[in-house]
């Protein structure tokens, strides 16, 4: 479904186990192919909300030899990512990053951008990402199109999974509230008899393309490309995704172009 802030109400399934299960529930897919192609075109890349480091591992295995850095506030996720020693990893939230003009590319995958649920979260995170990029650097990320109301489809049948220990599990979602553009939900991991082992509560924000563009412009970005799916088809009002590639611009924008 989505990356969401971990706030477990039950911890019979540990943070380390939940982190290992994340890649089982979210295997490599079309979105990773898309972002990998973007990373491979950049000499240096910053993965904000890198989780277990799946994309960065993929980039190294595909032959990327430049600077790769992942940032995530979840220590259990980073412990998995640290199994790869040729990638720099930093435990922090996006807004806490202190990089300055170090990267040609920044990205947020797995709908991580949607965990920025307040205007201040969005502005401070975009400001830190902009500061991390060289002028003309790119920021690629995706959010779900709010017009498609994806959250209404999340409370269906539970997902079955087998974790790294061979344990059979069910994972299911419940929507607690929808307030303006913020959806509050729970992700429950349980046994096959639906006995809960842990409950993670989080919030996801569904910003429109117009709202995204306003935040980007305010923090020094111009939209360079926008797609509606992972096949790079143009974004439309009925697209499931809002996939954005934005360019970091300097104070003088007279030479900047939007393609």
pLDDT score recorded for residue 257: 41
Same domain, 50 and 105: yes
Residue pLDDT, tens place only, 31-86:
999 999 999 999 999 999 999 999 999 999 999 999 999 999 999 999 999 999 99
Same domain, 104 and 135: yes
pLDDT score recorded for residue 11: 58
Q: Please say whether the beta carbons of 198 and 204 come within 8 A.
A: no
Exposed e or buried b per residue across 135-172, where buried means at least 16 C-beta atoms within 10 angstroms of its C-beta: eebbbbbbbbbbebebbeeeeeeeeeeebeeeeebbbb
89: Cβ contacts below 8 Å, ≥ 6 apart? 50, 53, 69, 70, 71, 72, 78, 81, 82
Number of domain units in the chain: 2
pLDDT score recorded for residue 9: 56
Q: At 255, is the pLDDT very low, low, confident or very high (cuts 50, 70, 90)?
A: very low
Averaged pLDDT of the chain: 92
Residue pLDDT, tens place only, 113-153:
999 999 999 999 999 999 999 999 999 999 999 999 999 99
Same domain, 25 and 50: yes
Q: What is the DSSP letter of 66?
A: S
C-alpha 13/C-alpha 6 separation (Å) is 13
pLDDT score recorded for residue 249: 95
Residue pLDDT, tens place only, 175-201:
999 999 999 999 999 999 999 999 999
Helix (H) or strand (E) holding 181: none
pLDDT score recorded for residue 7: 56
List the CATH number of the domain containing 69: 3.40.50.150
Same domain, 130 and 155: no
Handedness of CA 145, 147, 151, 156 (dihedral sign): negative
3-state SS class at 100: coil
* Strand pairing category for 67-72 and 44-48: parallel
User: Which domain covers residue 170, as residue numbers?
Assistant: 148-205
C-alpha 85/C-alpha 78 separation (Å) is 12
Q: At 108, is the pLDDT very low, low, confident or very high (cuts 50, 70, 90)?
A: very high
């Amino acid at each position: 479904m989505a990356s969401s802030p971990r706030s477990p109400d039950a911890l019979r399934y540990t943070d380390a186990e939940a982190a290992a299960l994340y890649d089982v529930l979210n295997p490599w897919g079309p979105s990773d192919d898309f972002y990998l192609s973007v990373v491979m075109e950049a000499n240096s890349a910053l993965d904000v909300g890198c989780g277990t480091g799946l994309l960065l591992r993929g980039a190294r295995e595909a032959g990327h030899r430049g600077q790769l850095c992942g940032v995530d506030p979840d220590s259990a996720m980073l412990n998995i990512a640290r199994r790869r020693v040729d990638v720099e990893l930093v435990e922090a939230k996006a807004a806490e990053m202190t990089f300055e003009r170090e990267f040609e590319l920044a990205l947020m995958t797995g709908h991580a951008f949607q965990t920025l649920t307040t205007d201040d979260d969005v502005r401070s995170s975009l400001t830190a990402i902009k500061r991390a990029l060289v002028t003309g650097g790119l920021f690629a990320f995706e959010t779900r199109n709010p017009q498609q109301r994806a959250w209404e489809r999340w409370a269906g049948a539970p997902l079955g999974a087998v974790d790294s220990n061979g344990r059979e599990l069910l994972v299911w979602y419940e929507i607690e509230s929808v307030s303006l553009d913020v959806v509050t939900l729970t992700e429950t991991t349980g046994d096959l008899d639906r006995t809960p082992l842990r409950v993670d509560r989080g919030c996801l924000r569904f910003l429109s393309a117009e709202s995204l563009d306003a935040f980007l412009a305010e923090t020094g970005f111009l939209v360079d490309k926008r797609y509606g799916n992972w096949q790079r088809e143009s974004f439309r009002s009925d697209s499931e995704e809002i996939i954005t590639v934005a360019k970091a611009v300097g104070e003088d924008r007279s030479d900047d172009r939007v393609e």
